[in-house]
């Protein structure tokens, strides 16, 4: 396993990030604990979660509780993990239990710490932009958490390039570090962040943490699995596949010529992109976790990267993307 600094920070994280969204709703607690133990065994030290994960039957926070009980087993588990979680979504219908107001930042952080049975969060991420809260309020609240030792770094998720610029300008005026990471949807099929988010990240020294690297499994060899009858897509995924079937056919054929599985190529492509620190893998099973590691062995030549760009055209940096 190789490690990278998260953005311009001094924080070293594994080049694959363990996503935990399936822990609880799709993966039972004992299996979730086994996956986290195995991840450490594979030298993955970067774990990502969110306060709303595990929310089947409105049990928001269940995933953080599962992680907390895993930490409570000891054995240096907490000390080995760079722990990232998020806030923003509504935890209950009562006012102020959503967004990133100073009040909710304080409440949400304390609640996450309690659920995860830890005294600090390494990377505290805003899950979405809050247009109702000014940046001076957000940064003042985050500064308090840093001063209290409850969080170490701040990140964003699903931000636009201009949101990042706003955040960093206000942080600089306060002599505060501001954002060190941005978690965005990014994969061969969804490359919108290449227009403005990645250029902003490169400019401000922010590490990109891609989520949905396989685009809901469509980049994971879905046509082969379909032919083998080993996977049946839900209606939404089937609709997306049908719309892009020619591209996926060309992609899987090219991956076969490289001698690699499509999922491995998709992850390897992300690791070769500017500003990307660590794609998020979200295994439901031990097998899915171990399979993800094969991507680290894939070396894509400039010619292979060019071919992938032919199959899945990306975007130029704005304004060149839409103007002369």
Query: How is the beta sheet containing 82-87 ordered, strand by strand?
Result: 207-211, 179-185, 151-157, 121-126, 82-87, 46-48, 17-19, 280-281
Chain centroid offset of residue 277 CA: 10
Nearest to 105 by CA among 65, 133, 66: 133
Catalytic position from the list 42, 53, 204, 251 = 53
DSSP state, residue 278: -
From residue 227, give the alpha-carbon distance in Å to each of 122, 230, 241, 264: 43, 8, 14, 20
Phi and psi at residue 258, to the nearest 5°:
-80, -20
Place of tokens 């992680």: 67
Q: In the Cβ-directed half-sphere of 36, how many Cα atoms lie within 13 Å?
A: 34
CA triple 272-151-91, angle to 5 deg? 90
Residues, the chain, total?
324
How big, in percent rounded to 5, are the helix, strand and coil portions of the chain?
45, 15, 40
Q: How far apart are alpha carbons 32 and 285 in whole angstroms?
A: 8
Catalytic annotation on 88? no
DSSP 53-85: TT-GGG-TTHHHHHHHHHHTT-TTHHHH-EEEE
Burial of 74 (0-12, 13-18, 19+ CB in 10 A): exposed
Q: How far apart are alpha carbons 292 and 281 in whole angstroms?
A: 7
Catalytic residues: 53
């Amino acid at each position: 396993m190789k490690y990278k600094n998260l953005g311009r920070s001094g924080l070293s994280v594994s080049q694959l990030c363990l996503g935990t969204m399936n822990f609880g709703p799709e993966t039972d607690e004992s299996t979730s604990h086994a996956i986290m133990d195995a991840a450490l065994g594979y030298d993955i030290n970067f774990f990502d979660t969110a306060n709303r994960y595990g929310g089947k039957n409105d049990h928001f926070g269940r995933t953080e509780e599962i992680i907390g009980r895993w930490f409570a087993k000891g054995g240096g588990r907490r000390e080995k993990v760079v722990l990232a979680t998020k806030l923003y979504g509504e935890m209950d219908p009562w006012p102020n239990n959503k967004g990133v107001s100073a009040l909710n930042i304080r409440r949400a952080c304390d609640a996450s710490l309690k659920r995860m049975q830890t005294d600090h969060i390494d990377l505290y991420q805003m899950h979405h932009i809050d247009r109702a809260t000014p940046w001076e309020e957000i940064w003042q609240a985050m500064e308090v958490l840093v001063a209290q030792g409850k969080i170490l770094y701040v990140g964003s998720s699903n931000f636009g390039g201009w949101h990042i610029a706003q955040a960093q300008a206000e942080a600089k005026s306060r002599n505060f570090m501001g954002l060190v990471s941005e978690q965005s949807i990014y994969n061969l099929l969804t490359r919108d962040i290449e227009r403005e988010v990645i250029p902003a990240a490169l400019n401000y020294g922010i590490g990109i943490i891609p989520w949905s690297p396989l685009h809901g499994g469509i980049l994971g060899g879905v046509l082969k699995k379909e032919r083998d009858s080993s996977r049946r897509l839900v209606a939404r995924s089937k609709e997306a596949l049908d719309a892009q079937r020619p591209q996926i056919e060309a992609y899987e054929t090219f991956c076969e010529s490289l001698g690699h599985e499509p999922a491995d190529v998709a992850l390897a492509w992300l690791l070769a992109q500017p500003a990307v620190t660590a794609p998020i893998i979200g295994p439901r099973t031990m097998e899915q976790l171990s399979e993800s590691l094969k991507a680290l062995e894939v070396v894509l030549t400039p010619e292979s990267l060019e071919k992938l760009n032919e199959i899945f055209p990306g975007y130029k940096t704005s304004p060149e993307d839409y103007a002369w």
